[in-house]
Amino acid sequence: MNDLNEVFYSACGLLGVSGYFVEAKWKDYAGLKARIEAREGRIKASVSRGFETASREVLLGLALYLVSSAFKKKIGDNEFIREYKEFTSRQSTSKLSSLLKKNHGRELSGTAKGIFYDLSVLKDKVRFEYQDVLGDLDVAAIEWSKEKSVRRLGFHEEANDRVVITKAFDSPRVPEFLVKYVIYHELLHKKHGVLFQRGKSLRRTVHPARFKEDEKKFVQFKEAEQWISSHSMRSLS
C-alpha cells in the first residue's frame, strides 16, 4: 500500500465508506487534476503528480473531497479541507498548474485570421491605442476558438501565453470595437494576473480593483458592456 492509497482509505474511514478496495495512482495530468470512480466494490482514483509535494493533510483533504463527491456524502469544513483549499489557492500552486499544462504538450492549433476579422491586426491596434495602459505588454499567440462559445467570450491562457476569442465574434453582426474590447480585457488579465488572498475565504480574485480601473479606460467601455448585455449570444452561434 503506497501513501496515496493510505490517504484514500483514511478518507473512506472518516466518511463511513467501507467494503471498497482502493486503487489510487499518480498520473501525468495537464494541470492539477484528480479523478475518482467507485463501482463494483472498487475505488479507482488518479491524482496529478503536481500534488506529490503536498503534505498528507492536503492529500487527505483532496481525498475527502473526491470520496464525498463519489458517494454523495456531506462534508463540513474541517482542517483537511482547509489545508487542501489553501494549497490549491496559493500563487505558487497556480504557477505549477500552468507549468504542467505547458509541459503536457498542448498544441496551439488555432488561427488569428478569421473570415471577417484578423485578431493579430486588432491586437496590434489595441496595443498601440492603449500603450499608456498596457506598455510593451504582448502575448505569444492570439487565436479564434474552435467552437462558437456563447458563454465564454475570451480568455488568457497563462500556460502558453495565448489569448483565445470566441469564434462567434468573427461575424459582420459584431462591431469591431467589441472584438477589440474583449482583446483589451484579456490583455489586462495578463497585466494584472490573479490576486491570491489568505484568510477564511482563500479566494482567487481575477478582476481586482486595478483591473476594473484599467478596463474602464477603454474608450467604448460603456457601449461594449451595453452591447454584450443587450444581444443574445446564441443568435451568433
The secondary structure of the chain, three-state, reads: CCHHHHHHHHHHHHHCCCCCEEEEEEECCCCCCEEEEEECCEEEEEEEHHHCCCCHHHHHHHHHHHHHHHCCCCCCCCHHHHHHHHHHHCHHHHHHHHHHHHHCCCCCCCCCECCCCEHHHHHHHHHHHCHHHHCCCCCCEEEECCCCCCCCCEEEECCCCEEEECHHHCCCCCCHHHHHHHHHHHHHHHHHCCEECCCCCCCEECCCHHHHHHHCCCCCHHHHHHHHHHCCHHHHC
Look at the pTM and tell me if it is higher than 0.75. Answer: no
Say if residues 91 and 64 touch (Cβ distance below 8 Å).
no
Residue 162: what residue type? R
Residue 172 belongs to some domain of the structure:
yes
Please indicate, yes or no, whether residues 7 and 82 belong to a single structural domain of this protein.
yes
Do the domain assignments include residue 111? no
131, 83: one domain: no
* Residue 77 falls inside a structural domain: yes
The answer to whether residue 175 sits within a structural domain is yes
The span from the CA of 77 to the CA of 85, in Å, is 11
Task: Mark whether 124 and 227 lie in a shared domain.
Answer: yes
The answer as to whether 46 is a domain residue is: yes
162 lies in the same domain as 84: no
202: in domain: yes
* pLDDT for the residue numbered 38: 94
Kind of pairing between the strands at 154-157 and 162-165: antiparallel
Domain that holds residue 52: 3-103
* % of residues, the chain, pLDDT over 90: 47
Last residue of a domain, one of 103, 134, 166: 103
Same domain? For 132 and 90 the reply is no
Q: What is the CATH number of the domain that holds 9?
A: 3.30.2010.10
- Residues 87, 137, single domain; the answer is no
Residue ranges of the chain with pLDDT lower than 70?
1-2, 30-31, 89-109, 150, 159, 194-207, 232-237
Task: Using the CB atoms, write b or e for 39-73: b if 16+ within 10 Å.
Answer: eeeebebbbbebbeebeebbbbbbbbbbbbebeee
Residues 76 and 171 in one domain: no
**Statement to judge: residues 95 and 133 lie in one domain:** no
Query: In terms of domains, do 224 and 175 share one?
Result: yes
Q: Mark whether 85 and 128 lie in a shared domain.
A: no
- pLDDT at residue 90 in the model: 60
The answer to whether the beta carbons of residues 81 and 63 sit under 8 Å apart is no
The confidence score (pLDDT) of residue 235 equals: 56
The pLDDT value recorded for residue 226 is 92
Total domains in the chain come to 2
Confirm whether 114 is domain-assigned.
Answer: no
Q: 124 and 96 share a domain?
A: no
In the prediction, which pLDDT does 91 show? 44
For 60, the grid coordinates are 487527505
| The last residue of a domain, from among 59, 75, 103 | 103
